[in-house]
Structure 1
Amino acid sequence: MKAVKHLKHMMQIARMMLIVAGLAGGLSSAQAASEGVSQVLEESVQIDGQRLNLNGSGTHIIKRVKIFNIGLYTTKPRNNTPDLLASPGPVRLKLVMVKEVDSELMSRRFLADIRSSTTKEERNQLVYQLMALGEGFARMGDWKVGDVMTIDWSQGKGTVFRSNNRQIGETLKDDLTMHAILKIWLGDNVADNKLKRLLLGDKE
């Protein structure tokens, strides 16, 4: 029995290593279509009866590989993170996949990024939210080129995740969740300062 469990564990590790290797490799043929995908980031959207404009956009890259295009939508221009986090919203993050990604890897990476963008005190307050989000991701299939995720937040109403217009999990009725997510790309210790500047309205 122990041998079977050990074998399953080793197979899971090997599978994850192959996925990571795939992300770190060269551009796939599917990625060649990414040029057109970027056009999905429209200039404005409607949320809760309010018009949001594209504050800025860029591409999330891991080891030189483009994973998804991302746009930040706000009710008025926001050029710094404190101003954005202090706003009542609504705010939208829109992610458009330009690379096929395994659902398990997408979930693990997303949750790890949230954890790294928060303090220990904040993580203690986000235990339930992260569990709920993880369960929601687990029900999704693999992410294909052109798939769209939206993350909408309004103060007092919470955060809603959608994949191709289908809600992922339940509405997370707090403000800290979205603040933690925004800090992944807009916090003080981001992995990509260029992307941060672009989302906050800088032009290349």
Structure 2
Amino acid sequence: MRITPRIASITLTAALAIGGAALPAMAADVGGVKVDDTATVAGKELKLNGAGMRQILMIKGYAIGLYLPEKKEMSAAELLALPVDRPRRVALHIQREINSDEFGQLFIKGMNANSTKEEKAKVINQTTKFGEMFAALEPVKKGDVVTLDWVPGQGTVSTLNGKKIGETLPDIAFYNAVLRIWVGENPVQENIKRLLLTGKN
């Protein structure tokens, strides 16, 4: 059979389609850490909105990615005002060993620095449970992945390497208090705030 340009084009298109179906999910490189471009929460595919590396001087703590239903530039206020029926995820790719007490306190310190007295009072019980569940863990190690998901109709679900830890914490105000660790008025690292909200440094 003579291969015409049209047949060759069709064959190439089909080959690309078949090959593309077998390709693994793309990943972003964040300081040498591969962070997936997509995540699935509550059965819905989310897109990586932005990612950054938390570090002090030259010591890397974790790579962080924020996943939302749609990738878009937004302000912190817009992020925190997303409807409660929209799932979202924060993923932390641990880059150094952190003991359980330190890990729990890092969360609580960041939340306290970015919440008013009234905001803290509204979620004090959930915050206490959150700190306790991380304090009860074995030390997290380089390569571990912690996810903090907002699951519509349920609440904040936390996992370590895909395994749920602690209980589901139901209030969106609590999840937003967690998000403010990185996007609040006093974020743990200013460029991480920009990266998560805009995808730009």
Please state which band the TM-score falls in when normalised by the shorter chain. 0.7 to 0.9
- Report the counterpart of residue 163 of structure 1 in structure 2: 160
- Report the counterpart of residue 125 of structure 2 in structure 1: 128
- Report the counterpart of residue 91 of structure 1 in structure 2: 88
Match of 1:54 among 27, 45, 48: 48
Structure 1 spans left out of the alignment, 5+ residues: 1-33
Q: Which residue identity lines up with residue 85 of structure 1 in the other structure?
A: L
Match of 2:62 among 37, 60, 68: 68
Q: Which string of whole-angstrom CA distances, capped at 9 and with x for unpartnered residues, describes residues 96-137 of structure 1?
A: 011111111111111111111111001111211112112211
Q: Which residue identity lines up with residue 66 of structure 2 in the other structure?
A: L
- Report the counterpart of residue 182 of structure 1 in structure 2: 179
Q: Which residue identity lines up with residue 163 of structure 2 in the other structure?
A: R
**Length-normalised TM-score, structure 2:** 0.78
Higher helix share: 1
Higher strand share: 2
Q: Which residue identity lines up with residue 105 of structure 2 in the other structure?
A: R
Q: Is the 8 A contact 2:49 2:197 kept in 1?
A: yes
Within 2, Cα distance between the matches of 1:56 and 1:35? 13
The percentage of aligned residue pairs carrying the same residue is: 37
Q: Is the 8 A contact 1:55 1:73 kept in 2?
A: yes
Q: Which residue identity lines up with residue 75 of structure 1 in the other structure?
A: P
Structure 2 spans left out of the alignment, 5+ residues: 1-29
Within a 5 Å distance, the mapping from 1:1-204 to structure 2 comes to 38-39=33-34, 41-79=35-73, 80-88=75-83, 89-204=86-201
Aligned residues: 169
Displacement over 4 Å in runs of 4+: none
Q: Is the 8 A contact 2:31 2:53 kept in 1?
A: no
**Length-normalised TM-score, structure 1:** 0.77
RMSD: 1.7
